[in-house]
Structure 1
């Protein structure tokens, strides 16, 4: 490399070596020195607001199974991104988030667009946050950021880089290091877990998002079938990790202490793999576990293991743990398998007015394309999604792990970009409530500009239905701001360049959905639905 190389040159060569050649961003003045002379072999994905930037990169990294590089603008842009940065943190997504800092000579005087206490702002939602002390340290900081983001448990990291660092002379190349992405469970402890599972009369398995993230879908099926035991989905899972049409699958556990405790009644041992123990939503008091029930917990995340209120933990790569456990447990041929869950019957049509959420999902099930991937952010209809559009393949369901909204619309763009990048063709369908749709609606523009045929189904019930259900549960009448009149989602979608349609019946929905799949462009279908109460 020439003696006249700069920090910019050396860093971009490093990024090439690490296959970080797709940059998700929304540029600002302090980032332009990083983006100058943008190389032809790099791709810049522009989103119109930083929350969308993060969500797109998050889903892209999940889909491609490698880190994604994000560039946002100083403290203002980073602040906009934090909501979806929380989702990436909880989802263990390896993101390298960068932001420009003001010129080093100006920072001491608090200039305009300086990032005050830059490394503090994204905490605690990043694994590592750093601003290099010298321009010469920038490439090495990127290498450390890459290693930290990938090492288990994976997660986002943050780098703040002063704008004048990029043109400083620097001789390269940067040091490129290999990074371990998995570690094995303790063999002795795993054997002890296997013995307890073998001795169990009526065990239950709970497979969480870590399983699918680790590529452990088939390993989960193998363990369940060897044990011949009930399998449950954890509360509010952001990935599906077991075929939800499998005879052993018994549905979701529930969302409250009472609901989960009651659901697990009759099991003498519960084995939670790759999930929190447990992610509760409403506060409905009860027993965490029924009397006489024990719990074993397998996870790659020490923090998740430490936070569990009951049970014994085993740390290790989730897929590896499943495979080793399957070899170590005795065959459960003597166990009586659980009764398969009853199949849902098609709901009777609503005599008048808008269809119910169950009718909407049942209609979509009839026209569901093969190998479709679903991204869901319709908080009040998650049960209907699981009932009518069960996950039947690995990496086919995505949702936000943080509980915040505004993730799914741009995340669907990230999934489609990731599929295109790895040469995979499958329909991408996003199911989103009318309230959630507003949070990152500008993500539609990127879908159109990138030529991505994502199909969005926006369910318009005219309210924050989940919050009305919570108001009933918490006995808080008179809460303002729960109704959403006057949302013209279709017109907004057309303004961004999408194909858009409004429907009021399931027959219209099925027809428009099929047409959208065949259109080959980003499409938004707005379906008016009947509000419903949720039972916790």
Structure 2
């Protein structure tokens, strides 16, 4: 008898979902036992790592990836990573196991109350009404994940897999879904009218503009307008080449500084993001009343919540390419950005600072490297010193801590053609340090750089601003390199500038072809001047 399981495997093959990231439990055994050889199973030791690895794979491959979670504990443990995957626009199909459908009414052991457990972070969630609807639900989840660029959930009771397969006509969902990316002439005309009236326009590039098409279109538009291009604050990906002469840096995340930065511009076109994420709260409007805000995004939520004069919901690349033809050309209205000077090496006995590490990386990184970042207290320094020079060159974990380390593993699996590294804080690394086991087990050549400052730097600065020290202790007695070695991952502790330079010189030359992970735990001083 052909089963729902068999029909689902056929759907997974057709959709290209042939790698299954999972930390399974008993409710997933009926699906996984005797897995066909053409499907690949990837084990992680925590569900946060499962989803983050799948998200990294999806971002690297440019199409949905598949994660399999175990009922309530699996989905519950994964919620933070699901939230981050949503913010990072990672398309995921997440199948969640459930107890046997035939006695769910009796609330058996391991039956999950799964409805709403992940909150509003999934772009869709469905438990099929009957077993035969499972393959179609996965088809629909795939398209939901692709269209909304986020995680889509399907809950499957464990006995559904052995049920008789549906008839082909019962698998409800399109066999192929094409997305038209044409630019509406009326939308282009409305945007162009505002930009042509402006004397000093600027562009804000967001994560939704990342990719070759988005970069090409935005470069053409920026060069036509000859104005500055800023990167959104808290951008999950780079929306514009950051070594382009018109790149003006990252916008500040405080309203007062944001208003001051954008004050010279009478029109600002925001592309591929909402307008404009801030942290922490400051009173007042985002921009001066004289600054007109325009927005182009594919994300309805971003469009609906943005306080702008005109929002256009559509493909950023197509709209910006058409807009580059429609706006008037003009002389340049920007001052080229001056990169920060190289920090002098620390004097003998002085500690390394994050600036030393990040500048050393910037001087040596290949142009096609993919850098995943999750180091909140060093993020401004990283943005200032390491430009994204190729599409998909920069990814920032824009949600809950613990995402970047496992996401880098999945991304490297999807993109073995490009060098992959992640720069994380010591606190961030501890949330999913067990993901290193998967990196070792699957011979994933990621370079993990942990900036160890021994404390909660952001929390310390916020507490100082509140007027009192926080009650949390330092973390300077945690040996992160030892935790890596305990999982079979090569690790080194670096404390001097000489060791830093020598190690990076040796490691970065062959990072693109490396097939085993390496963790560098680098001791750095806290930056007391950091202003979150």
Change (3 A) 1:482 1:237: farther
Whole-Å separation in 2 of the counterparts to 1:287 and 1:141: 43
Whole-Å separation in 2 of the counterparts to 1:451 and 1:479: 41
| Residues 87-96 or 484-493, more deviating | 87-96
Residue 440 of structure 1 pairs with residue 432 of structure 2: yes
Task: Work out which of the residue numbers 82, 87, 94 in structure 2 matches 1:85.
Answer: 82
Whole-Å separation in 2 of the counterparts to 1:60 and 1:162: 26
Change (3 A) 1:396 1:255: same
Secondary structure, counterpart of 2:178 in structure 1: coil
Which residue of the partner structure matches residue 281 of structure 1? 279
Which residue of the partner structure matches residue 340 of structure 1? 336
1:367 CA displacement? 2.5
Which residue of the partner structure matches residue 125 of structure 1? 121
Whole-Å separation in 1 of the counterparts to 2:150 and 2:181: 16
Task: Work out which of the residue numbers 217, 226, 229 in structure 1 matches 2:227.
Answer: 229
Could you list the per-position Cα deviations for residues 220-262 of structure 1 after superposition, in whole angstroms to 9, with x for gaps in the alignment? Answer: 1111111100110111111012111211111111001111111
Which residue of the partner structure matches residue 474 of structure 2? 483
Change (3 A) 1:227 1:156: same
Which residue of the partner structure matches residue 360 of structure 1? 357
Which residue of the partner structure matches residue 249 of structure 2? 251
Secondary structure, counterpart of 1:44 in structure 2: strand
Whole-Å separation in 2 of the counterparts to 1:48 and 1:419: 22
Indicate if the aligned counterparts of 2:269 and 2:294 stay in contact, CA closer than 8 A.
yes
1:520 CA displacement? 4.3
Whole-Å separation in 2 of the counterparts to 1:104 and 1:433: 44
Indicate if the aligned counterparts of 1:126 and 1:158 stay in contact, CA closer than 8 A.
yes
Residue 388 of structure 1 pairs with residue 376 of structure 2: no
Which residue of the partner structure matches residue 195 of structure 1? 193
Indicate if the aligned counterparts of 2:228 and 2:248 stay in contact, CA closer than 8 A.
yes
1:14-413 map, 5 Å = 14-116=11-113, 118-151=114-147, 153-173=148-168, 174=171, 177-212=175-210, 215-332=213-330, 335-351=331-347, 352-402=349-399, 404-413=400-409
Could you list the per-position Cα deviations for residues 15-50 of structure 1 after superposition, in whole angstroms to 9, with x for gaps in the alignment? Answer: 111111111111110011111220111111111100
1:287 CA displacement? 3.5
Secondary structure, counterpart of 1:343 in structure 2: coil
Change (3 A) 1:317 1:214: farther
Secondary structure, counterpart of 1:327 in structure 2: helix
Whole-Å separation in 2 of the counterparts to 1:348 and 1:502: 22
- Aligned pair count reads 523
1:140 CA displacement? 1.4
Which residue of the partner structure matches residue 430 of structure 1? 422
Indicate if the aligned counterparts of 2:339 and 2:385 stay in contact, CA closer than 8 A.
no
1:170 CA displacement? 2.0
1:171 CA displacement? 4.7
Could you list the per-position Cα deviations for residues 460-510 of structure 1 after superposition, in whole angstroms to 9, with x for gaps in the alignment? Answer: 10011111122233x141322252131101111111111111111222112
| Residues 460-469 or 213-222, more deviating | 213-222
Whole-Å separation in 2 of the counterparts to 1:514 and 1:336: 39
Secondary structure, counterpart of 1:149 in structure 2: helix
Residue 507 of structure 1 pairs with residue 498 of structure 2: yes
1:439 CA displacement? 0.3
Whole-Å separation in 1 of the counterparts to 2:206 and 2:180: 17
Indicate if the aligned counterparts of 2:225 and 2:332 stay in contact, CA closer than 8 A.
no
Indicate if the aligned counterparts of 2:481 and 2:520 stay in contact, CA closer than 8 A.
yes
Whole-Å separation in 2 of the counterparts to 1:320 and 1:370: 26
Whole-Å separation in 2 of the counterparts to 1:104 and 1:269: 57
TM-score, scaled relative to structure 2: 0.95
Change (3 A) 1:215 1:88: farther
Could you list the per-position Cα deviations for residues 259-284 of structure 1 after superposition, in whole angstroms to 9, with x for gaps in the alignment? Answer: 11111011111110011211101123
Whole-Å separation in 1 of the counterparts to 2:492 and 2:74: 33
Whole-Å separation in 2 of the counterparts to 1:171 and 1:235: 48
Which residue of the partner structure matches residue 452 of structure 2? 460
Whole-Å separation in 2 of the counterparts to 1:350 and 1:37: 57
| Residues 41-50 or 464-473, more deviating | 464-473
Structure 1 unmatched runs, 5+: none
1:368 CA displacement? 2.0
Secondary structure, counterpart of 1:375 in structure 2: strand
